[in-house]
Amino acid sequence: MFRYGFFLFAAGIVLNMTGASQAIAAEEVTSVEGITEYQLENGVRVLLFPDPSKPQVTVNMTVFVGSRHEGYGEAGMAHLLEHMLFKGTPTHPNIPKLLQESGASFNGTTWLDRTNYYETLPASPENLSMALKLEADRLINSYVKGEDLESEMSVVRSEFERGENSPSRILGQRVTSAAYEWHNYGQSTIGNRADIERVPVESLRRFYKKYYQPDNVMVIVAGAFDPEFALAEINAHFGGIPRPDRVLEGTYTEEPAQDGERMVTLRRVGDVGLAAALYHISAGAHPDYVAIDVFEHIMTASPSGRLYKGLVESKLAASVSGAAYSLHDPGMLRFMAEASPGVDPRDVLSKMLEIVETAGEDGVTEEEVERAKTYWMKTWEMSFADSSKLAVQLSEWAAQGDWRLMFMYRDRLEAVTPEDVDRAAKKYVRQSNRTAGLFIPTKEPDRVTIPETPDLAEMIGDYKGREAVAMGEAFDVSPENIESRTTRLTLPSGVKAAFLPKKTRGESVVVQVNLRYGNSEALKGLSTACDLLPTLMTRGTKDLSRQQLQDLLNQKKAKLAASGTAGLASFDIQTRKEYLPEVLDVLRQVLREPTLSPDELELIRNKRLTGYEQQLTDPMALAQTALVVATSEKYPRDDVRYAETIEEKIESWKNVSHDDVTKLFNEYLNGTNGEVAIVGDFEISEIQPLVESILTDWTSDIEFSRNPRSGDVDIKGKTEKILTPGKENATYLAGTVFPMKESNPDYIGLMMGNYVLGSSGLSSRLGDRVRQQEGLSYGVGSFMRSSPLDPRTTLMVYAIANPDNMPKVETAIREELELLIDKGVTDEELATAKKGYLEKQLVNRSSDDQLVNLLTNTAYLGRTMEYYSEQEAAIQKLTVDDVNAAVKKRLDLNHYLVIAAGDFDREKSDKAMKKDEPMTTEKETEFKATNSGLKYKIIKEGDGKAPVPANTVVCHYKGWLDNGETFDSSYDRGQPATFPLNGVIRGWTEGLQLIKEGGKIELEIPSDLGYGDRGFPPVIPGGATLHFEVELLEVK
């Protein structure tokens, strides 16, 4: 994630850049559908994409070097340099701090064909200039110091080790390595342990000097900016960098045609069997690629996919996934299935191969192809509608050879036929071209010749594309303007509504509906049914089968997501203005006329049970569950507020019945309590009656009242250890809970103290010491959540690390907590925290997905946006004395419970971590943190395609709050979720880019990367930290 450069060049280059006004102006190369390419005299390529609809700007510097370019002994070097690039330059010594102070959401990622560095900031000439100056500076002036390399190698090693915990990730890597004998696509981007640990700093410097040059970089700017100003700034900061004397040679290794099937068997500690199959395919630029992409969707889509029907619905597998990797050189098509409990993965593999390798001969249908095309076109259009995500996605297309391939993909997709798909399937999906893999426990040569990457200049020519998508308005995201533009009312049914019409890019619109029902007494014993009900409602209606419903949503360029928790059913819609009335009618059918199919319930149950059984040996899941149980109030088992262990969750999901769910729907669910919010391009006069018609005449005799919580829990300060043999990454969690509402005068001060401690990414005290200075953990940080309604505040610190490093991690965390309590924060730290926090709120409010959550949250709490105006004013007035007094009053290390889970040596662990001692013993962790404050633990790295924001991804996931309460789960729904990566909360967008296809990651998302202070009532309280476990099944 980071990189460094030669400090030796600093003096000369900085002078050149500051005097770059003498550089020759950029030359326009081409323009397609609103995106214009320029080139500077020194070779720097530039893409500009103005989009005034959101007050933010994204700068993405893409360097065309990835693991494909690494030589002998250089495995993982591109990725290691990416990390090092965040270590500073003489001009910018503390890059994370600079970006944090500017309110930026930022990251760096490495993949097979490229490395990129990007940041999204509040739109202003100053911020744009700052970002461009920073990227130009670290392109050629970054430090590559031996001492920094020593600390960062430990971080990268920790990142490497986290992937060793995930069978699916390792299986994917092994299968890919076996499939590629010579080409570097068979080499994991993160590298191998030996190269990571032994790389000389001189080698890194040579690699850096070779590739990090102006003739090997593309600068992408998207968002609200003046193109003339941007070009002038790019020319000023990049134009003066001298073009290098060296000639950069392209890679030339070509993977020979495979001459027979290959097989990989992986035997490791785990609970669920896996089966995988990989086939070599053409490069992403080749015309065959689109047909293969369509074929993959026909195989794996849920519920229409042939693999889904043949494996999941038959109960052989709990889930299936797939991906066709679009790469610079000939890539790969991969399928993977997770065996159901008790099923031999060999049987799963056998059935998988039978389905996919006969599909070409049997032929695909017109209906299947049209369904896949509709899905991919919807995905493409949604991703193109978000300029900040598109700015990052363009890295992937450019790395394949030309960014305009993005538009050629769309054009080819529209033209693909069933005959094209059949031809491609017969050509590539063959036994002799297959590498299969299992996680468990031909007579004649039959070779497939992969076509060469086409001549892009000849193929693309003077491609112009189509008319640019309709632009949105330049919307002011201040709380005052949002409130003045919002219409608030109570609908005739009793549901509170908030409507915010505004012009958006692509005429997009988002809808959120929250329905509240029941009470703690009436819902006794129905907690699992509450979790299951909303998902089951989306599995078919009186007039629409599950497949018909999904097809209709795809045709209307719409997404519908549902989630549930005790007493709450939530539904989210994303679509376009022209389709909103029809999509609302689909929602009406889902809410009022669901079939509640028993068969679909069994699919959801099977998937959820598989997920929980995996958690039984997962350090992170075990540690989090133990901490949630310990910090929760002691309710009876049948109370919806009871915190279940993993074993109890398994028992509950085995026992939940169809009668429970139908009882909830028929007797409890109603349209009289809840909230609805709509944000985007729509007319209130047209849409309000449709919303009212959905909720009218829908009542329940069971009174609704919320389920209150208390923070009055007696937490004994001690350390508990959970042993997880065979897991190379360990998890550290330390948490406490106490009675304090969000309205308490201490809240803001304590929140800022926590921001300084561990919620501001690498620039936080924990991030700087534990990761940056000592290199002990890839992810470390802290988070705080206070209820707006109940006297309950949770504070938690987390880290992930090698088990042997846990004592050092615990010591560092304890010392930083003691220092915060004893000495407090400084004036400089508080000023930086205020600026960074408030800037992030601006960025958060620029996302319609987050804005609609904010509006439902305010409606639920009886607030207006004036609350946030007042809160931000109070933060501005906050003093160091206020913060330090709140910290000293509220933080007590004698009431912090520490949970460490990992494969600890018993003798060593007992010496380092003595039980029942209050936060004075060694602890184990495995979480890491990014610059933005996102915390994550890579359970499995994956060996497939690395996603970028412009990609569409297919994921299975589970989300829970600090108290362990699950608020959403695709496992419960029994089918993975598919969405544009740039269309979700920022924590997901950033987090999923840390793994590859086949990977699995656990995320801890601070509120500013999630739903912010407004939350997502009633499921997610304002300011909530979100926890997710995500399996990245496919990148499209």
CA distance 287 to 454: 9
Q: Helix or strand or coil: residue 337?
A: strand
The total number of residues written for the chain in this structure: 1036
Choice among 968, 972, 1008, 1013 that is catalytic: 968
To the nearest 10°, report the CA torsion of 859, 860, 865, 869.
170
- 463 part of the active site: no
DSSP string, 718-776: EEEEEE-TT-SSEEEEEEEEE---TTSTHHHHHHHHHIIIIISGGGSHHIIIIIIIT--
Choice among 800, 875, 985, 1005 that is catalytic:
985
Spatial CA neighbour of 54 closest among 854, 809, 842: 842
Strands (E), 270-344: 274-280, 317-324, 332-339
Annotated catalytic residue 798: no
Active site residue 1011: yes
The H or E element that residue 1028 is part of is strand 1026-1035
CB 661 within 8 A of CB 604: no
Distance CA 747, CA 890 (A): 10
Segments in 7-94 forming alpha helices (H): 10-18, 77-84
- Helix, strand, coil share of the chain (percent; to 5): 45, 20, 35
Is 938 among the residues known to form the active site?
no
* Alpha carbon distance 393, 410 (integer Å): 14
Rounded to whole angstroms, the Cα distance separating 369 from 364 reads 7
Q: Which residues pair with 280 in a beta bridge?
A: 332
**Hey, is 712 helix, strand or coil?**
coil
CA dihedral 368, 370, 376, 380 (to 10 degrees): 180
Q: Which of 49, 868, 967, 1016 is catalytic?
A: 967
Return the number of other C-beta atoms located less than 10 Å from residue 739's C-beta.
13
| Catalytic choice (86, 375, 407, 1011) | 1011
Q: Can you tell me the distance from the alpha carbon of 445 to that of 840, in angstroms, rounded to the nearest whole number?
A: 59
Q: Which two tokens stand for residue 633?
A: 């109030």
Which residue in the list 860, 957, 971, 1016 is annotated as catalytic? 957
Class of residue 784 by CB neighbours under 10 A (exposed 0-12, middle 13-18, buried 19+): buried
Q: Contact, 683 vs 500, CB < 8 A? A: no
- List CB contacts of 386: < 8 A, sequence separation 6 or more: 505, 949, 980, 982, 983
Is 985 a residue of the active site?
yes
What's the CA angle centered on 882, arms 881 and 886, to 5 degrees? 110
1028 is catalytic: yes
The torsion region of residue 73 among left (phi > 0), alpha (psi -120 to 50) and beta comes to: left
DSSP 181-220: SSSGGGS-TT--HHHHHH--HHHHHHHHHHHSSGGGEEEE
SS3 at position 5? coil
Fill in the amino acid letter for 366: E
Cα–Cα dist 468/463, whole Å: 14
Q: Give the DSSP letter string of 412-469.
A: HHHH--HHHHHHHHHHHSSGGGEEEEEEE---S----PPPPPP-HHHHHSS----PPP
CB 172 within 8 A of CB 944: yes
- Catalytic residue ranges: 957, 967-968, 985, 1011, 1028
